[in-house]
Structure 1
Amino acid sequence: MSTGQGTGSGGRAIEVRHLRAFLAVADAGSVTRAAARLRVTQPVVSRTLAALERHLGVRLVDRSTHHLALTPEGVAFRDRAAAAVGAFDEALDPGRLHARPLRVGHAWSAFGPYTTPLLRTWQQRHPGTPLELLRIDDRTAGLTRGEVDAALLRGPVDTPGLVTEVLFTEARVAAVAADGPLAARASLSLADLAGDAVVLNTVSGATTLALWPPHTRPAATVTVANTDDWLTAIAAGRGAGVSGASTAQMHPHAGVAYLPLDDAPALPVLLARREGPGHPALPRLAALAREIVAREQRTRPRDSGAERE
């Protein structure tokens, strides 16, 4: 059945099966896995995808590596294709819930203390739409690459094409070696960390040297690419780190002590999505996230340090 787009430059009508093949490849990251999911052969998927690209006149998938990746045009087209397929399915069977998973990325600490309440409440209210929480070590947690539908991010995000909403803010904490001299302190200041190296996650972290005043910036930095390496470097005494209070809750480490950081500004926690229609369940996710934060903040002890107004 045709989508009604006409024949375009490819000379043949584009049908819903072309969109389904593209979405399967985008989700699976592989033509082979997409073919298995669609129960067709690999050449069929390749030909179908190629026909769609010819029709649109753009390359949607970068085939230069074994792990396929969407091009920027593919990322932009993915939401439109998913919306079109969803509308088509709903028109044929309005009573059937579309069960495409809602994928939410995060680079570390997810939704902090609200992670479990969010997942449990979503499952209770929306069992027909699985919520998948994916850790992706990237500043936008895979959102700009089209790997997820939304992302929970920390710190300011100025990436073009993204829409963000601040859900809550959390206090920042210092992370120091558990057997080091700073671990015995009740709290620390940014100046206390400036005498030694600071460990920065330059791939997905929210802390940069700009957090310190120019006259008290750390003398040296150690750069890492993910939270696991960040913790390992701090435990080994290579330097101290700064993160949000949720990191202390979600990533305890025997070799790392987390201490309040008295003079650091609060860290905003954002829900981000791409511009455009996106996954149909995104408005429900945003509403539930706001509800969970409001509910938990009413009942959570005020001295927990997890959030600041």
Structure 2
Amino acid sequence: MSIELRHFRCFLAIADTLSVTRAAERLHLTQPAVSRTLRRLEQELGIRLVDRSTHHLALTPEGLAFRDRAAIAVAAFDRALGQAGHTVWPLRLGHAWSAAGAYTTALLRRWHEEYPDTPLELLRVDDRTAGLARGEVDIALLRGEVAAPGLITEQLTTESRVAGLPADDPLAHRTSLTLAELAGRTMALNTVSGSTTLDLWPATARPATSITIGNTDDWLAAITGGRAVGVTTTGTARMHPHPAMAYVPLSDAPPVPVVLAWRDAPGHPRIPDLIALARAVIGAAGNAAADNHGYGGGVGARRGPAHHSGE
């Protein structure tokens, strides 16, 4: 038996739902059919993708690694079919939050002016790599740590960290704050796509309580609703102003790298053009701002994980 696209789709449904029953409902198949398809895929690959030894279905380490490769293959197939009858091939630029910050409008307008025949689609995907590792986008603007294998990253600039507070908070009218002044508060942490963790604070002075958030909208709602405070970057302050929200600079928090990432594999032919334009629009302007404000972020492409500490 050869592996077919239906085997990939079946496995991805199981990986997404972590349930054979729910996967069968999604695919409009019977549970035995889904189980047989998964078993045949594992036999063909010679690896175990799903751990069935517990009460709750879970992916094995091999299953987790294969999930991303399968998602890329299915996305490429679907996109090829979708583009078959069209001459325009849009370039998909992913971001998890705040896009290119203050440079977003300039980047989009410059692209439209210089490459009018290739639409640049800006897509927010609530994922650590903004959908890049799963094949949902062609290239991505990311912040902080980029640990997914098979990606090339280039740091364009850095953004200063700021505290996010309710506008009526006693600290909201300060000109600057320190991390220690936030340690006694409940922190909203975006664990899906954010760049801030409790490791930002010294081990002996970390916030005692935190709430887990899955995206920027919920992060903003938690803070403006008075449930918590947060730490983010100037990009969020510029892209998400809110009358019930205050952003206050943090004087002792390290800046967050802003990187452009793409897969180390053949991709959209316009990716090099977007990289060059991002260097010109974001990199040059960002480095000039860094020189003026005393912080910097060098420019250099690298393969593999880019590790940085620190929405």
| TM-score relative to the length of structure 2 | 0.70
Larger RCO, structures 1/2 (Cα 8 Å, 6+ apart): 2
Q: Distance in 1 between matches of 2:100 and 2:9?
A: 32
2:250 corresponds to which residue?
A: 261
Asked whether the equivalents of residues 175 and 243 of structure 1 are also in contact (C-alpha less than 8 Å), the reply is: yes
Find out whether 1:278 has 2:267 as its counterpart: yes
CA shift in 2, pair 1:146/1:265, >3 Å: same
Of 103, 108, 114, which aligns to 2:97?
108
State the AA in 2 paired with 1:161.
G
Find out whether 1:214 has 2:203 as its counterpart: yes
Q: Distance in 1 between matches of 2:179 and 2:195?
A: 15
Tell me by how many angstroms 1:79 deviates.
8.7
SS at 1:215's partner residue? coil
Tell me by how many angstroms 1:78 deviates.
6.3
Of 194, 204, 208, which aligns to 2:193?
204
State the AA in 2 paired with 1:74.
A
Q: Distance in 2 between matches of 1:67 and 1:189?
A: 51
| CA displacement, residues 52-97 of structure 1 (integer Å, 9 cap, x when unaligned) | x54x8963674547499x9533344469879999xxx9xxxxxxx9
1:33 corresponds to which residue?
A: none
Q: Distance in 2 between matches of 1:274 and 1:153?
A: 13
Once the two structures are superposed, the pairs formed by residues 1-309 of structure 1 within 5 Å of their partners are 53-54=3-4, 59=8, 62=12, 64=23, 66=26, 71-77=67-73, 99-297=88-286, 308-309=296-297
Tell me by how many angstroms 1:136 deviates.
1.1
5+ long unaligned stretches in structure 2: 14-22, 29-65, 298-311
Q: Distance in 1 between matches of 2:27 and 2:270?
A: 28
| CA displacement, residues 228-271 of structure 1 (integer Å, 9 cap, x when unaligned) | 11111111222210001011110011111100100000100111
SS at 1:214's partner residue? coil
1:30 corresponds to which residue?
A: none
| CA displacement, residues 272-302 of structure 1 (integer Å, 9 cap, x when unaligned) | 1122111111111111000112453588797
Asked whether the equivalents of residues 83 and 280 of structure 1 are also in contact (C-alpha less than 8 Å), the reply is: no
Give me the identity figure in percent.
51
Q: Distance in 1 between matches of 2:140 and 2:246?
A: 28
Q: Distance in 2 between matches of 1:301 and 1:185?
A: 23
State the AA in 2 paired with 1:237.
G
Asked whether the equivalents of residues 72 and 133 of structure 2 are also in contact (C-alpha less than 8 Å), the reply is: no
Q: Distance in 2 between matches of 1:268 and 1:125?
A: 27
CA shift in 2, pair 1:197/1:67, >3 Å: farther
CA shift in 2, pair 1:298/1:139, >3 Å: closer
Asked whether the equivalents of residues 139 and 261 of structure 2 are also in contact (C-alpha less than 8 Å), the reply is: yes
SS at 2:252's partner residue? coil
Q: Distance in 2 between matches of 1:236 and 1:165?
A: 36
SS at 2:140's partner residue? strand
Q: Distance in 2 between matches of 1:132 and 1:225?
A: 23
| TM-score relative to the length of structure 1 | 0.70
SS at 2:8's partner residue? coil
Asked whether the equivalents of residues 161 and 250 of structure 2 are also in contact (C-alpha less than 8 Å), the reply is: yes
Tell me by how many angstroms 1:150 deviates.
1.1
CA RMSD of aligned residues (A): 3.1
Q: Distance in 2 between matches of 1:159 and 1:72?
A: 10
SS at 1:59's partner residue? helix
Runs of 4 or more consecutive aligned structure 1 residues displaced over 6 Å after TM superposition: 78-85, 298-305
Asked whether the equivalents of residues 83 and 277 of structure 1 are also in contact (C-alpha less than 8 Å), the reply is: no
Asked whether the equivalents of residues 168 and 270 of structure 1 are also in contact (C-alpha less than 8 Å), the reply is: yes
Asked whether the equivalents of residues 193 and 214 of structure 2 are also in contact (C-alpha less than 8 Å), the reply is: yes
Q: Distance in 2 between matches of 1:293 and 1:145?
A: 25
2:302 corresponds to which residue?
A: none
Asked whether the equivalents of residues 98 and 129 of structure 1 are also in contact (C-alpha less than 8 Å), the reply is: no
SS at 2:70's partner residue? helix
Task: Between 59-68 and 242-251, report the one with greater CA deviation.
Answer: 59-68
| CA displacement, residues 7-32 of structure 1 (integer Å, 9 cap, x when unaligned) | xx76xxxxxxxxxxxxxxxxxxxxxx
State the AA in 2 paired with 1:119.
L
